[in-house]
Amino acid sequence: MTAKEKLLREVLDLDDAKAARARIVIPDEPTEEPEMVALPAGWGETLTGEPMPNIAAAVRRSRESH
């Protein structure tokens, strides 16, 4: 989901009272992304001990092929 799609979803989820008071603030400088937390032990490999496949990359490749 893109940032625009996420923003649109959040705006559409507002009820009328909240929408009437809503403001969108866009910072001048992009904010830094928070650091990722390490995965818990065992999450980096499959049950057979192989490295976990990159599911996000597989989904991205699948979407690009359409």
Question: CA 64 to CA 66: how far, in whole Å?
Answer: 6
Look up residue 18 and give its two tokens: 């909240």
Instruction: Report whether pLDDT(36) > 90.
Output: no
Return the residue matching tokens 């979407």: 63
What's the pLDDT score for residue 42? 84
Which residues have C-beta within 8 Å of that of residue 45, sequence separation ≥ 6?
A: 51, 52
Residue 57 confidence class, pLDDT cut points 50, 70, 90: very high
Buried (b) or exposed (e) across 37-60, using 16+ Cβ within 10 A? eeeeeeeeeeeeeeeeeeeeeeee
Up-side HSE of residue 18: CA atoms within 13 Å toward CB? 7
Residue 32 confidence class, pLDDT cut points 50, 70, 90: confident
Q: What is the pTM of this model?
A: 0.34
